[in-house]
Amino acid sequence: MSPPQKAIVLRVEKTSIHDGAGLRTVVFLKGCPLSCRWCSTPEGQADTVELGLSKHKCDECRICVDVCPEACFSTDIDGSCSLDRRECTYCLACVETCPRSAIQVYGREMTDRQVIELISRDEIFYFHSDGGVTISGGECLAQAAFVQSVLKECRTRGIATALETSLLAPWQALALVVPHLTSLYVDIKHSDSRTHRELTGVGNERIWENLIRLDRLDQELPVVIRIPLIPGLNDSDANLRQTLERISPLKKVQSIELLPYHRLGVATYADLGREYALKDLHPPSPDYLREREDFLRAQNTAIPVTIAG
Amino acid sequence: MKLVMDKNRRISDQSYYMKRINRLKQRVISTRPEMDLENARILTHAFKQSQGEPLVVQKARAFKLQCQEKTIRIWDDELIVGCSGSKIRGGILCADTCWSVLNDELDTISERPYDPFYLDSDDRKLFEQEIKPFWKGRSNYEQWLAQIPDDTKALRDTGVIYINRKAVRGFGETTAGYEWLVREGLEGIESKIKARREELDLTRPGDYEKDYYLKSLLLVADGIRILASRYGREAEMMAAAESDPSRRDELLEISRICNRVPAQPASSFREALQSLYFYQTCIFMEQNAASYNPGRMDQYLWPYFQNDLASGALTTEQAQELLGCLWVKFSEPCLFQDEVTAEFAAGYPMFQNVCVGGVDDAGRDAVNDLSYMIVQATMDVQLYQPSLSVRYSLAKNPNKFLRKIVELISLGTGFPAFHNDDIGIRMLMNKGIPLKEALNWNPCGCVETNLEGRLRHFTALADINLGFVIEFALLNGVNRRTGQQVSLSTGNPDNFADFDEFLGAVKQQFSYITKAVVKGNHVIDEVCMNRPCPALSLTFKECIENAKDYAWGGAKYNTGNGIILIGVADLINSVAAVKHVVYETGQATMAELVQALDDDFAGHEELLKQCREAPKYGNDDPQVDRLVGDLFTFFADEIERYESKFGTMTPGILPVSGNTPFGLEVGALPSGRKAWRPLADGVSPSGGTDRLGPGAVLKSVSQICHDRFVQGTLLNLKVEPEMLRDENGIQQLMALLKSMCSLGVYHVQFNVIDQKKLIAAQQNPDEHRGLLVRVAGYTAYFTELGKDVQDEIIGRTVVREISAS
pLDDT tens by residue, B304-346: 999 999 999 999 999 999 999 999 999 999 888 888 777 777 7
Contact B739 A267 (CB under 8 A): no
Residue after which a domain boundary falls, among A84, A106, A128: A106
Nearest CA in chain A to B784: A57
pLDDT digits (tens, 9 = 90+) for B411-452: 878 889 999 999 999 999 999 999 999 999 999 998 999 999
Domain ranges, residue A118: 6-47+109-307
CATH code of residue A115: 3.20.20.70
Same domain as A126, residue A34: yes
Residue B777 half-sphere exposure, CB side, CA atoms within 13 Å? 25
* Cβ neighbours, 10 Å, residue A75: 13
**A199 in any annotated domain:** yes
The set of residues, in sequence order, having a beta carbon less than 8 Å from that of B520 and lying 6+ positions away, is: B148, B149, B152, B156, B161, B163, B462
**A1 in any annotated domain:** no
| pLDDT average, residue stretch B166-184 | 94
Q: How far is B372 from chain A (nearest CA, A)?
A: 23
pLDDT digits (tens, 9 = 90+) for B648-687: 999 999 876 788 889 999 999 999 999 998 899 899 998 8
Q: CB–CB of B338/B104 below 8 Å?
A: yes
Confidence of residue B10 (pLDDT cuts 50, 70, 90): very low
Nearest CA in chain A to B604: A99
**Contacts across the A-B interface (CB distance below 8 Å):** 99
| pLDDT average, residue stretch B597-601 | 97
Q: Which of B94, B98, B282, B446 is catalytic?
A: B446
Identity of the residue in B605, B732, B803 whose CB atom sits nearest the CB atom of A22: B732
Contact A124 B743 (CB under 8 A): yes
Q: Which long-range contacts (CB under 8 A, 24 or more apart) does B775-784 make?
A: B775/A264, B776/A40, B776/A41, B776/A262, B776/A264, B776/A265, B777/A11, B777/A13, B777/A16, B777/A18, B777/A26, B777/A28, B777/A40, B777/A41, B777/A136, B778/A11, B778/A13, B779/A13, B779/B691, B779/B692, B779/B693, B781/B688, B782/B758, B784/A57
pLDDT digits (tens, 9 = 90+) for B680-722: 989 999 887 888 889 999 999 999 999 999 999 999 888 877 7
Which chain B residues are closer than 8 Å to A290 by Cβ? Answer: 803
Same domain as A119, residue A226: yes
Contact B732 A40 (CB under 8 A): no
Same domain as A149, residue A77: no
pLDDT digits (tens, 9 = 90+) for A6-63: 999 999 999 998 889 999 999 999 999 999 999 999 999 999 999 999 888 888 888 8
Which chain A residues are closer than 8 Å to B731 by Cβ? Answer: 129
Return the beta strands (E) in B518-592 as ranges.
557-558, 562-566
Which chain A residues are closer than 8 Å to B789 by Cβ? Answer: 264, 266-267
Same domain as A213, residue A159: yes
Identity of the residue in A28, A263, A267 whose CB atom sits nearest the CB atom of B777: A28
Contact A129 B732 (CB under 8 A): yes
Contact B739 A57 (CB under 8 A): no
- Residue B413 has a pLDDT of 80
Contact A97 B694 (CB under 8 A): no
Distance CA B541, CA B562 (A): 24
Higher-scoring residue by pLDDT: A256, B757? A256
- Residue B189 has a pLDDT of 98
Phi, psi of B644 (to 5 degrees): -130, 180
A85-94, A263-272, B494-503, B753-762: segment of lowest average pLDDT:
B753-762
Contact B728 A127 (CB under 8 A): no
Q: CB–CB of B511/B547 below 8 Å?
A: no
Nearest CA in chain A to B802: A286
Q: Is A33 exposed, middle or buried (0-12, 13-18, 19+ CB in 10 A)?
A: middle
| pLDDT average, residue stretch B161-170 | 88
pLDDT digits (tens, 9 = 90+) for B790-804: 877 776 654 333 322
Q: Which of B337, B431, B414 is nearest to B379 (CA)?
A: B414
Same domain as A59, residue A165: no
Q: How far is B777 from chain A (nearest CA, A)?
A: 7
> Given a cut of 60, is residue B776 above it in pLDDT?
no
Same domain as A69, residue A174: no
**A247 in any annotated domain:** yes
**A141 in any annotated domain:** yes
**A54 in any annotated domain:** yes
pLDDT digits (tens, 9 = 90+) for B340-397: 777 777 778 889 999 999 999 999 999 999 999 999 999 999 888 899 999 999 999 9
Contact A13 B799 (CB under 8 A): no
- Residue A76 has a pLDDT of 80
> Given a cut of 90, is residue B167 above it in pLDDT?
no
Which chain B residues are closer than 8 Å to A263 by Cβ? Answer: 788, 792
Contact B695 A54 (CB under 8 A): no
Contact A14 B739 (CB under 8 A): no
Which chain B residues are closer than 8 Å to A54 by Cβ? Answer: 786
Q: CB–CB of A82/A74 below 8 Å?
A: yes
A contact test, residue of B402, B605, B717, B778 with most A CBs within 10 A? B778
pLDDT digits (tens, 9 = 90+) for A202-240: 999 999 999 999 999 999 999 999 999 999 999 999 999
- Give the type of residue at B506: V
Strand partners, B218: none
Q: What is the mean pLDDT of chain B?
A: 92
Mark whether B332 is an active-site residue: no
Q: CB–CB of B154/B114 below 8 Å?
A: no
| pLDDT average, residue stretch B728-749 | 95
Q: What's the number of domains chain A is made of? A: 2
Confidence of residue A308 (pLDDT cuts 50, 70, 90): confident
Same domain as A250, residue A139: yes
Q: How far is A85 from chain B (nearest CA, A)?
A: 22
Identity of the residue in A13, A121, A264 whose CB atom sits nearest the CB atom of B699: A121
Which chain A residues are closer than 8 Å to B748 by Cβ? Answer: none
Residues from B contacting A (CB-CB < 8 Å) are 605-606, 608-609, 620, 692-696, 699, 723, 728-729, 731-732, 735-736, 738-739, 742-743, 775-779, 784-789, 792-793, 796, 799, 802-803
- Residue B425 has a pLDDT of 98
Contact B694 A54 (CB under 8 A): no
- 3-state class of B651 per DSSP? strand
Q: CB–CB of A164/A137 below 8 Å?
A: yes
The set of residues, in sequence order, having a beta carbon less than 8 Å from that of B114 and lying 6+ positions away, is: B339, B342, B343, B346
Total-model pTM: 0.92
Residue after which a domain boundary falls, among A106, A128, A154: A106
**A276 in any annotated domain:** yes
Same domain as A32, residue A143: yes
Q: CB–CB of B181/B257 below 8 Å?
A: no
Classify strands B387-392 and B353-357 as parallel, antiparallel or unpaired. Answer: parallel
Which chain A residues are closer than 8 Å to B776 by Cβ? Answer: 40-41, 262, 264-265
Distance CA A285, CA B466 (A): 50
Same domain as A14, residue A144: yes
**A130 in any annotated domain:** yes
Nearest CA in chain A to B799: A286
Q: What is the mean pLDDT of chain A?
A: 93
Residue after which a domain boundary falls, among A58, A84, A106: A106
Contact A124 B729 (CB under 8 A): no
Q: Which of B299, B10, B785 is nearest to A54 (CA)?
A: B785
Distance CA B683, CA B285 (A): 34
Same domain as A160, residue A32: yes
Same domain as A298, residue A231: yes
Q: How far is B363 from chain A (nearest CA, A)?
A: 22
Contact A286 B796 (CB under 8 A): no
Contact B736 A125 (CB under 8 A): yes
Contact A11 B606 (CB under 8 A): no
Residues from A contacting B (CB-CB < 8 Å) are 11, 13-18, 22-23, 26, 28, 40-41, 54, 56-57, 61, 97-99, 101, 121-122, 124-125, 127-129, 131, 136, 262-267, 283, 286, 289-290
Contact B776 A40 (CB under 8 A): yes
Which chain B residues are closer than 8 Å to A23 by Cβ? Answer: 695, 732, 735-736, 739
Q: How far is A216 from chain B (nearest CA, A)?
A: 31
DSSP structural state of residue A182: S
> Given a cut of 50, is residue B1 above it in pLDDT?
no
- Residue B777 has a pLDDT of 53
Q: What angle do CA B525, B531, B534 make, to 5 degrees?
A: 125
CATH code of residue A63: 3.30.70.20
| pLDDT average, residue stretch A115-140 | 97
Same domain as A100, residue A136: no
Q: Which of B448, B452, B471, B665 is catalytic?
A: B448
Mark whether B448 is an active-site residue: yes
Which chain B residues are closer than 8 Å to A121 by Cβ? Answer: 620, 699
Cis previous bond, B416, omega within 30: yes
Which chain A residues are closer than 8 Å to B690 by Cβ? Answer: none
